[in-house]
Structure 1
């Protein structure tokens, strides 16, 4: 059953990380100071991406046997059994986690369809998608705040989420998204309905939560393509109850979402699968799976055996890192499994901490009103602070964990792994073509041998490019090398051949998609020691021949 009532409202603030063991009496309140490692991480603190999935190029091949057990899986242990050692390693470890989450929990989230078009106005967003001869459309309402745009925006699922009046008064627009238009409830698993299933088939094994998340991504596509006259690419997402499950899934699987705010999401949302079975009164996994086709079809094998899952929701919490995440829960309604929610949040906070972004996650279940999806005064100020920090970029409020003593989880009971100290430093992404994205390379090796363009000089740094070409597309790997002195930031400029365009990029910020394109460092790869190198990559359509990058140091 779904608990319904009350108005949806609430939420959010960004921020902090958490202690493993919790006190028994009173609310647990932990406010963390920025550590030296976090301060050194610099720009990683507010790092939302310009692409849906930064790890699309990572080689992901799960072994035949994956670790399982009653404890939460080690989020830092790779498929090959080794643990990551640097912050740069997280990108492809996150891709491994994504693979497990899709395969065992939610179902597949397809890459951006071949065609996504639409419009953005001061009152409405239209979305039109087509793929393999199938088309679908849906729309969302827009309410702007006062003032002069363009504005950041919060996508509110189903009318139940953070308080829209507070969102607008803080300076962000509200996008009212009806997820049921994309994935309809009340349908059997073998006859799913809605825009997603019109494209990918009504027998798709992908559950409604992932379909709803796909719809959020298509709204973001349209905003991204609109030119930023009305809305800009600083986007948050929120929802309560079933829509809290959907908001959480949307933030997990789209790295362009700068601020994720799930409210009282319950089973199939934030709460750890392994912990739910032992939490008195919590909605059982079998009930959540059977109530609606929210979860992917494959999850049916684990409703009575969550210990057999090679992944759990603390890892999904970590997939949001280092972006803003504010989890709000209600400890007064047992069905909502908020003790298990605190376990997942504490486990995910360890990933934030390892990445130097501990101040970007908040958790708050210490509330007085027990009404489901009520408007809560406790969350109003944190909501404003999160919007200011992650969407307006005008605030720097520290995060906080406020865990109710009624439903306080203890992470120490659920893990047998430790949190590593991850090194800063450049990353070297794989040069294999991405396995998903707007253009998918063929499985066979490129028919044209890789070519390398010699470094072209710039002020303090040089850049060289290696391309793997196939019919209709290519992948380019660009190596940036510091000269005789260290650099603290860099920009690489290149001109694409006529008819070619960039469709995806990783480990870099990008300006432009065709003709003259500029790439600049992200937070964790801007500093390069003298004579040392870092790499970024991009995927393109057309030809990648004749590229001649130039590098300028900052």
Structure 2
């Protein structure tokens, strides 16, 4: 992996969405095996330019499972830390439940013991760690221990995370920075999946002339709250962008690529049209653009049915069962092995976006959306 320049060294202005199929050094991704390397490179860029240090995998993980108690020991270098997690309830699915998420009707609930963020920082000598990325790290450690204890009664292939609004941002980050088999993101907005380039175009560029929401321009990096439910969502690493949001055009990635790092795992992503109501500022259009631009990665890997996106029109975090039925279909596919479940969905409402979808490819894309990886 090449050495990434400091933010001041990112001088190229690219208003097109960066190509998920081209490495930072210009080499093309041509095989499925290469995607894993590209995925790690995207995560490294996100760590450097938005989220600060991301805790790596430990050198060694061991642990035990007793009923619903998971005990974890992690070693890195000469340091050792112990962690705990709890799995409660009944059902086969194990869910990290962030507020407002969407879950199967029968599931277990995953929670982590107190103080785990500080222990992660100590283990790797980090000055800070994003709360939601720490959640992702803990998901992986629980999965490590469940895999080591196959008779525990808890299936590591049936782990998921979900949340809405601020916790939609949390589910996005925990899903991106983990290997959770199923991720369900609901109305994450700015600081979540909302596309940084398009949001900047609406906020401070020519797109402002077509923005028709009554409440505010879309939430993005420069007007993102410092904290909130499941926050904060970025760390001090993002100060250079927050003080000069036009520099999002210098980023060698955007949120469509972070979303795509979930591939080839299962993803369900919802956003709200909110065409004219008071939650329009969450930027459903910008979420839809990122989902639309991420979908080609699942297609390129030959698993388009593992990624579904649906835009609906409802109160914030208040969609009905029919509007979120896609999640139930994905649960059938991912957790029950139902290969006929209808999950290969890209449901964008023409009257729910602030820029017509018909304009997206010409304006935002200069790479092959029909790439097939060998």
TM-score, length basis structure 1? 0.56
Alignment-derived partner of residue 284 in structure 1? 220
Q: Cα offset for 1:326?
A: 0.4
Q: Cα offset for 1:66?
A: 7.3
**Are the counterparts in 2 of residues 122 and 143 from structure 1 also a CA contact under 8 Å?**
no
The alignment yields a C-alpha RMSD, in angstroms, of 2.8
Q: Cα offset for 1:120?
A: 3.5
Pair 1:153-2:103 in alignment = no
Pair 1:133-2:89 in alignment = no
After TM superposition, list the pairs within 5 Å mapping 1:401-480 onto structure 2.
401-404=346-349, 405-407=351-353, 410=357, 411-412=360-361, 413-424=363-374
1:267 pairs with 177, 181, 190, which one?
190
> 1:181-206: per-residue Cα shift (whole Å, max 9, x none)?
545xxxxxxxxxx44334345723x4
Give, in whole Å, the separation in 1 of the partners of 2:262 and 2:108. 21
Aligned to 2:156, the other structure's residue is in SS state strand
> 1:225-256: per-residue Cα shift (whole Å, max 9, x none)?
222431112122212222222222222233x3
**Larger strand share, 1 or 2:** 1
Alignment-derived partner of residue 97 in structure 1? 42
> 1:412-455: per-residue Cα shift (whole Å, max 9, x none)?
2222222253352xxxxxxxxxxxxxxxxxxxxxxxxxxxxxxx
Alignment-derived partner of residue 80 in structure 1? 25
Q: Cα offset for 1:320?
A: 1.2
2:311 pairs with 353, 365, 368, which one?
365
Pair 1:318-2:254 in alignment = no
Alignment-derived partner of residue 16 in structure 2? 71
Q: Cα offset for 1:156?
A: 1.9
Give, in whole Å, the separation in 1 of the partners of 2:114 and 2:165. 14
Q: Cα offset for 1:345?
A: 0.3
> 1:81-122: per-residue Cα shift (whole Å, max 9, x none)?
232233333222222222212211222322223454444455
Alignment-derived partner of residue 386 in structure 1? 330
Q: Cα offset for 1:289?
A: 6.1
- Higher mean C-alpha deviation, range 346-355 or range 242-251: 242-251
Q: Cα offset for 1:208?
A: 2.5
Give, in whole Å, the separation in 1 of the partners of 2:197 and 2:120. 30
Which consecutive residues of structure 2, in runs of 5 or more, have no partner in the other structure? 204-215
Alignment-derived partner of residue 111 in structure 2? 177
Distance change in 2, residues 1:242/1:375 (3 Å): same
Aligned to 1:236, the other structure's residue is in SS state strand
Q: Cα offset for 1:137?
A: 2.9
Give, in whole Å, the separation in 2 of the partners of 1:268 and 1:342. 14
> 1:8-40: per-residue Cα shift (whole Å, max 9, x none)?
xxxxxxxxxxxxxxxxxxxxxxxxxxxxxxxxx
Aligned to 2:101, the other structure's residue is in SS state coil
Aligned to 2:155, the other structure's residue is in SS state strand
**Are the counterparts in 2 of residues 60 and 99 from structure 1 also a CA contact under 8 Å?**
no
**Are the counterparts in 1 of residues 96 and 110 from structure 2 also a CA contact under 8 Å?**
yes
> 1:483-528: per-residue Cα shift (whole Å, max 9, x none)?
xxxxxxxxxxxxxxxxxxxxxxxxxxxxxxxxxxxxxxxxxxxxxx
Aligned to 1:388, the other structure's residue is in SS state helix
Pair 1:337-2:261 in alignment = no
2:302 pairs with 356, 364, 367, which one?
356
Alignment-derived partner of residue 257 in structure 1? 180
Distance change in 2, residues 1:408/1:283 (3 Å): closer
Alignment-derived partner of residue 208 in structure 2? none
Distance change in 2, residues 1:244/1:125 (3 Å): farther
> 1:154-177: per-residue Cα shift (whole Å, max 9, x none)?
3223x43114xx341xxxx32233
Distance change in 2, residues 1:285/1:209 (3 Å): same
Q: Cα offset for 1:312?
A: 0.6
1:144 pairs with 72, 83, 90, which one?
90
Structure with higher Rg: it is 1
Alignment-derived partner of residue 248 in structure 1? 172
TM-score, length basis structure 2? 0.80
Aligned to 1:290, the other structure's residue is in SS state coil
Distance change in 2, residues 1:323/1:155 (3 Å): same
Pair 1:233-2:233 in alignment = no
**Structure with higher RCO (Cα < 8 A, 6+ apart):** 1
Give, in whole Å, the separation in 2 of the partners of 1:222 and 1:207. 23
